[in-house]
Chain A
Amino acid sequence: MRSKNPIIEHRDDLVRSLRQKKASQPRTPIPKRLQAITAELEKRLKLTESSDFRRRALTYGRRPAAVFYFHGIADEELVEHGVIEPLSRPTSGRKLDPLSDRRLHALTVEALTALEDVENALVDGQPVLAIDGFRRVYAFHLDQFPVRPIDRVSNESVLKGPQEGFTEQLETNMALLRRYLRSPDLVIRRRQLGRLKRTGVAVAYLKSVANPNLVADIEKRLDAVEALEYDAVASVEQFLEERPYSLLPSMLTTERPDRAAAHLLEGHVVIIQDNMPYAYIAPATYWNLFHSSEDHYQRLPYSWFMRFIRTVAFFLTLLTPGVYIAATNYHVEMIPIDLLMAISGSRETVPFPAVLEVFLMEFSFELIREASVRIPSQIGPTIGIVGALILGQAAVQANIISPIMVIVVAITGLASFTQPDLSFNLALRISRFFFLFAGATLGFLGIALLLAAALAYLVSFKSFGVGFFTPWAPYVPSSHDVFLRRPLPAETTMPKTALPQAETKVDKSRYFALFPRLGARRAAKGRRP
């Protein structure tokens, strides 16, 4: 079994082979006659079989010409009024060329020289103009795919802060990023992956902040994916991460452009993908996964409180079932005697051992959760009633489980919902079963040993070469935005998590001049070699 992603491991070789391949790739030249072009396109794209293919014949000057496009993905009105209608008007020019044709000046026109490019342009929704006698085909950027408008975020909703989320269209998402980060430094580089299903992938970073090595590494990984020519790249995240089997995510997934922009500012790299209303942020540390974007929109004490709750919830999710089992099965004396009597009394009529009981309940909770995601939204509310009633009340009354178990499972479930990141949430939910197992086999000793091993794994886990607990362990300069955060004006240090090129977030000389003593100490530090 390979624990590492082979693409990443061999990325250097793959990139080399990609370059060779690109250099030696055969390209079909475009035939001279219009009929030949049409026939070739129809043969290649099986256009006669597609009913949404449109071919509009027209004349270009005196030559016969044709406009090809797919119905629905090209803006038909603009094709009508911007291409066909102007071309039908007589022109005075003697030598005609669509690139310099006055009638088409309002459009972006691109000349294509290979049939492969023509195909791609067509499926990208661009109408193409083929003219008899030209060895080139002209594509107009008039694509208009049907897309969902920008909508409210569904998974990372906040009470205070921007509400809009990414959509499925890459261009819209790029535009959103540009809107949240209006800086000439923002570089968004787009490419396409997948042989059959061409998926647009864009890499965004701040030129003056992001570490060039990090950007180069991510580009290299994408090159490696490209070199292997997968038929489809459904989720670019899974092609880029190093450890496919690890429970921990290597990248932060967000549907919030503001969050992506905030990470860009700290030197992270954002990867967005077509047909996926998410942005992937690399590298991701525990803190990125643990924080919610609301933490910075809410005022300081409130955000401290929220983070405190979330930290407690983290441990509750992970440990509650395990600790319950450990306490009731191994460390009986640990439970306060009133509670102990109550649990012990109610357990007498229950037919299962406590471990099985917990496991059953946790499992059925996961059932409810999975079902409530898949269930049609019309009958969604019923699932709550079914879950609460059947699994809670009824199971207790039927003496299948003890009442305290409902509380244990409810607390665990509730706590798990507080984790803002989807991947991390799942990782926590899965690993709580390991802790349940450890607690059931050796009590608190098992839990503590597993905790030690898990902690060791966590701190040695690296996402894009960055330790999972940076900037806390290893301790590197940062704005101390970890468990708690500082007041926004005091967040002056650029965290070195993603090893950014930029040093500060603020004009430091002026900022420290506000605090005479601090300024003096800084000056003294600067003087020391």
Chain B
Amino acid sequence: MRTNTRAPNRWRLVAPLLVLLLQCGCWDKIELEDVAFVTTMGFDRGEIPGHLDVTLEIMNAQKATVALGNATQNEPRATNITLKNTTPLMVKDLANGVITRRINISQVQAFLISEKLARTVDLYSVLASTFRDPEMRRETPIIVTRERAETFIANNVPRFETLIYQFYRYKLNRWRDTGIVPLSNMNDFLRAHAAERPYLFIYATTEHRRPPHQGQNDEVIAGEMEVEGGDPVEMIGAAVVDRGKMIGTLTGEETRLVLLLGAKLRVASYYMIFHDPNDPQFMISTRIKNENPARIRIDTRRDPMTIDVEVPLYVEVLSIPSKIDYVTDLKLQKQLIASIKTQMNEKTEQLVRKAQRQWRIDLFDWERFARRQFWTWDAWQRYDFRRRIPEARVHVRYRIEMLDFGKQLRPDERGVPLRGID
């Protein structure tokens, strides 16, 4: 069978050339300056049901280069286009009615969805129509805005970032640590949606309103922070979406608790304040680190099932305005620990009650841990975790692994409690 003899000579030379020549296509070629890059896409409910208002924010690339002289001084740094009553992908062509260049959405930094749209229309159907486009990227963050997305985009002019993409990047990079907003993106949403799990979206707004209560710190949703100055955007809290529709909001602190209890907040460090157990008018500021995720044990054999969550916390007490000596006095320390636990438990119980009673959903994504106890997909489907979760018995236990007092040994520089001097 060995007939692998010499080939005709000419073919040896012609074949690679042929490959080369056949490549003279250039169908998909684009010149870079011919492309308009969309930074942000906003979706609002259209006036006609089933249609959307789509807003595109397009960057002016010339603003990125510094030394180009003053030719671009007078150009705006971005331009916004809103197309009414259309579909998300139609705009790629339609927008060229008012803009010169080819629209490219591969660099979209965030999708904005207005709360009104999220509450009334199945979000999956809105987003699904976009992610079939090859330019769409699954890691793109999704943000739910309190006002119309169009307004949000128009208002969002950050002070320091000339190009708007930097704004989203810096902002999200920061939130990654603190957990007061969930990092929601397209891929995670699709993953959750396919498994029929609820999903948390970032909640943001540019419209400030008077907060209903004062002194809430991070126990607020976007738009209700007590803040002056800074960028126009407030981004805190989460929008809860279940079965494609938004069903409620979470405050910043609640969001963090959800992530904490679902073991989603990995190595993070953030500040929290607690009431001083011995002098409730003062607040104790602490920095919490959770180096280990929460341990979640779910017993599905019981009916109703039990869910035990054990959260290890590493607490660093940073300021004790009451000047009570928690540092050296072990007894007081115990009180402090007990108080921190109680306060955490209270908040947690409220949240769990809200999830189980009010929304009747698996807000904390405990489903992922319950699945481990099943061998096959059929058994899991038969169990119907979603139906059983509202009745589940949930026990959350915080374990303060370590209490630390920062760089200072005593609460007061003088080393004597303030009260002793009086």
Most A-side CB within 10 Å, residue of B19, B30, B65: B65
Which residue of chain B has the shortest Cβ distance to A348 in the bound complex?
A: B33
Contact with B along A338-362 (1 / 0, CB 8 A): 1011111111111001100000000
* B280 CB within 8 Å of chain A: no
Interface majority SS (helix, strand, loop, mixed), chain A: helix
Residue from A343, A438, A453 in contact with B32 in the complex, judged by beta carbons closer than 8 Å:
A343
Q: Chain B contact residues (Cβ within 8 angstroms of A): what range? A: 35 or more
* Contact, CB under 8 Å: B64 / A442: no
* A394 CB within 8 Å of chain B: no
**Stretch with Cβ within 8 A of B (4 or more), from A89-97, A134-142, A325-333, A498-506:** A325-333
* Contact, CB under 8 Å: A332 / B29: no
* Contact, CB under 8 Å: B13 / A245: yes
* Contact, CB under 8 Å: B68 / A346: yes
Residue from A3, A437, A440, A446 in contact with B13 in the complex, judged by beta carbons closer than 8 Å:
A3
Residue from A349, A350, A353, A453 in contact with B19 in the complex, judged by beta carbons closer than 8 Å:
A453
* B23 CB within 8 Å of chain A: yes
* Contact, CB under 8 Å: A332 / B20: no
Which residue of chain A has the shortest Cβ distance to B166 in the bound complex?
A: A338
Residues from chain A with a CB closer than 8 A to the CB of B15 are 453
A455 CB to closest chain B CB, in angstroms?
11
The answer to whether A437 and B135 touch (CB under 8 A), given A344-B33, A346-B68, is no
* Contact, CB under 8 Å: B104 / A434: no
In the complex, A341→B59 CA distance in Å?
Answer: 9
Contact with A along B9-36 (1 / 0, CB 8 A): 1101101100110011110111111010
B173 CB to closest chain A CB, in angstroms?
14
Contact with A along B72-91 (1 / 0, CB 8 A): 00000000000000000000
* Contact, CB under 8 Å: B31 / A345: no
The answer to whether A446 and B64 touch (CB under 8 A), given A344-B33, A344-B37, A347-B33, is no
* Contact, CB under 8 Å: A342 / B65: yes
Which residue of chain B has the shortest Cβ distance to A342 in the bound complex?
A: B64
In the complex, A453→B14 CA distance in Å?
Answer: 12
Number of residues of chain A lying within 8 A (CB) of chain B = 38
Residue from B25, B35, B37, B65 in contact with A441 in the complex, judged by beta carbons closer than 8 Å:
B25
* A508 CB within 8 Å of chain B: no
* Contact, CB under 8 Å: A450 / B20: yes
* Contact, CB under 8 Å: A441 / B23: yes
* Count of chain A to chain B residue pairs whose CB atoms are closer than 8 Å in the complex: 99
The answer to whether A344 and B32 touch (CB under 8 A), given A4-B9, A442-B25, is yes
Residues from chain B with a CB closer than 8 A to the CB of A333 are 104, 106-107, 135, 137
Residues from chain B with a CB closer than 8 A to the CB of A353 are 31
A468 CB to closest chain B CB, in angstroms?
15
Residues from chain B with a CB closer than 8 A to the CB of A350 are 33
The answer to whether A354 and B32 touch (CB under 8 A), given A4-B9, A341-B37, is yes
Residues from chain B with a CB closer than 8 A to the CB of A348 are 33, 61-62
Residue from B16, B31, B35 in contact with A453 in the complex, judged by beta carbons closer than 8 Å:
B16
* B193 CB within 8 Å of chain A: no
* Contact, CB under 8 Å: A438 / B20: yes
Please provide the chain B residues from 24 to 57 with a CB less than 8 Å away from any CB of chain A in the complex: 24-26, 28-33, 35, 37
* A528 CB within 8 Å of chain B: no
* A1 CB within 8 Å of chain B: yes
* B163 CB within 8 Å of chain A: yes
Please provide the chain A residues from 1 to 24 with a CB less than 8 Å away from any CB of chain B in the complex: 1-4
* Contact, CB under 8 Å: A347 / B107: no
In the complex, A443→B27 CA distance in Å?
Answer: 10
The answer to whether A329 and B30 touch (CB under 8 A), given A341-B61, A346-B65, is yes
Q: Which 4 A-B pairs have the closest CB atoms?
A: A333-B106, A341-B64, A344-B61, A345-B61
